[in-house]
Each structure stands twice: as C-alpha cells, then as structure tokens.
Amino acid sequence: MHALPRLIVFMSAALLAGPAAAQNGYPSKPVRIVVGAAPGGPTDLVARLLGDKLSQSMGVPFIVENRGGGGGVIAAETVARAEPDGYTLLMGTVSTHGINPTLYRKLGYDAVKDFTPISLAVTYPLVLAINPATVPVSNMTEFLAYVRQHPDKVNRGSAGNGTSMHIAGELFNSLAGTRMTHVPYRGSAPAVAALLAGQVGVDFESIPVVMPHVESGKLRALAVTSARRFESMPDVPTVAETLPGYEFVGWLGLVAPAETPQPIVEILSRKIALALRDKEVKARLLAQVMQPVGDTPEEFGRFIRSEIAKLGAVVRESGATVD
C-alpha cells in the first residue's frame, strides 16, 4: 500500500542526486580539447594555456589534440560525434561556429544543435594592413577614398576562401560600397608574403603575423577591425571610426557535444572564467592581441547564434563557398 509513495520518494531523491553526483565525480580522467588547427597557432596557444590552468585547478590532465584541416570541420565533426560526458571538448572558432554553417552547403555538423556552449574564451581583432608602395595612402580616410575611386583595381589578399580574413574584407566591401578583388592564399603566411611583394595591396590579417612588418616599415597598419581600439595598440584606430557600423572580431570558445550534463558544463564554465582572470594568462593573451572573456553557457549560446546570422549574411552576399 505504501510501496508506490516510497518508490516516488526514492526516484525523486535519485533525480536530485544526479547533478550533484555528476558534479562531485567530474572530472575523474583526462579531458581532451580538440583543436582544428596545427600546433603553434593562436587557436592552439589558447587551448594549451587554458588546458594547463584547467589541469591545475581540476586535478586531471587536459590534453590538446590537434586535428587540422577543412576550416575546423574535421575537429568539429569529431567532437559532435563524441560521447557527451565532458571528456571531449572542442575549441570552437569564428569559422567552425560562425562562418562554416553558411559557407558549406553540406556540413557534417550543426553548429547549434550538435553542441553545448561552455564559454567564450577570447576575442581578437584583425588589422587592415596595406603595402604603401602598392596602395599609396596614409590613413583610413585616404584608403576609403582610394578604393572607392579604383573599383576592382585593388587586390585584397586573405588566408583563404571562407577564413575570417576573407569575410572581414567582404563585410568592409558591403558596408563601404567598395569592390576590392579578393585573392585567396593557403594560409596567412603566403598571404602576407604576397602583400610584402606587392602582389596584393591590402590584407585583413592576424595582428601578430603582420606587426613585425609594420614595425620594420614595410607594411602599414591602418586600423583594427574591432568596435573599440585594442588596449595594447591604443594608437591604431578602428575601421568604425571612418566607416561607422563596421565590426569584425575573431573569437575562440569551448563547446562540448550536445546533451553534456549541465552540472559539468557549469563547472567547466566557472573554471574557464577563473583561468582567464589569471594575471599570467591574461598577460600572455594580451601579448597576442587577444582579449580574455569568460562568459556563461547561455551568453555564449546567444553569441554563437548571433554570429551565424551576422556572418551568414556576409557569406551569402559575397557568394563564397567551398563545396
């Protein structure tokens, strides 16, 4: 007679204990952070910085696994299919979770449905760099006038079709009403080499890659693509100061497979936020012109959806595709 109520009480207690049990038992073995880029690049750097801090604070190794290729597609597909237990994470990027959903007609993962957001880790601007011997301007006002006066005559390099460098330039064309000719390369290194050689005159590029050549006087940094000036480069204006409404930032953030238990997601989010507030971590990120963030899973989820909508419109207008 009293068996059913006792069963209900037992089941209720078990359900309530589930999150606590998951929280208390996690992590109990090494955690993989899958990175869709080669070792040594900015995505790999951030993953290893966070991995080291998470290993210290959570008591198990956080191992970075590099699976480069396909604009991060291979890495994203790997994590989308992984067990949703908190032991396989992806260092998501503006490409994997902002650009690719529109760039690829057939993508082997859904950037929203197949993942659980954990935390936005960093944002970073690109820099609009020119070769002054090819594009004879000194500032953004002159540059805007020059490219408007020379439609289809100014060649703009990038690290490849669909990269953040490509899409940042397409967004500029769209807002400014300009027609720079896109010339894709296989990575930032050959794109910057072409810029130095004068084969292209403009590149929206990764700041650490460009700045040594700016400091040597071979290239000129006209503006950063973020909405605000970057704190470690206060003398370089933003594109938006000349072209209101322009903003493009690259970003990196950790995501897990869909249906990863919420207590695990919340633990990771809190630990990531603490790691990003560490003085040493922050200093190393700022040296690479990256701004630490560390937000909640809900905030990161909203951010991903807004990026897909915003960048998808730019990709469609540009006509870019890779399949």
Q: What are the DSSP calls for 92-128, one per residue?
A: EEHIIIIIHHHH-SS-SS-TTTTEEEEEEEEEEEEEE
Instruction: Judge whether 218 and 133 are in contact, CB under 8 Å.
Output: no
In terms of Cα–Cα distance, which of 264, 294, 274 is closest to 87?
264
Which band of pLDDT confidence, cut at 50, 70 and 90, is reported for residue 4?
very low
Question: For residue 178, is it within any domain?
Answer: yes
Measured between alpha carbons, how far is 259 from 244 in angstroms, rounded to an integer?
40
- pLDDT tens digits, residue range 149-189? 999 999 999 998 888 999 999 999 999 999 999 999 988 89
Residue 17, pLDDT score = 38
pLDDT for the residue 302: 98
What is the tens place of the pLDDT at every residue in 208-225? 999 999 999 999 999 999
Phi, psi of 220 (to 5 degrees): -125, 130
Band (pLDDT 50/70/90 cuts) for residue 10 is: very low
Average pLDDT over all residues of the chain: 91
119 shares its domain with 254: yes
Both 147 and 199 in one domain: the answer is yes
Residues 130 and 237 in one domain: yes
| Number of domains, the chain | 2
Query: Do 294 and 217 sit in the same domain of this protein?
Result: no
pLDDT band at 24 (very low <50, low <70, confident <90, very high): low
Q: Would you say residue 19 lies in a domain?
A: no
Asked if the model's pLDDT at residue 40 lies above 90, the reply is no
Provide the pLDDT confidence category of residue 14 given band limits of 50, 70 and 90: very low
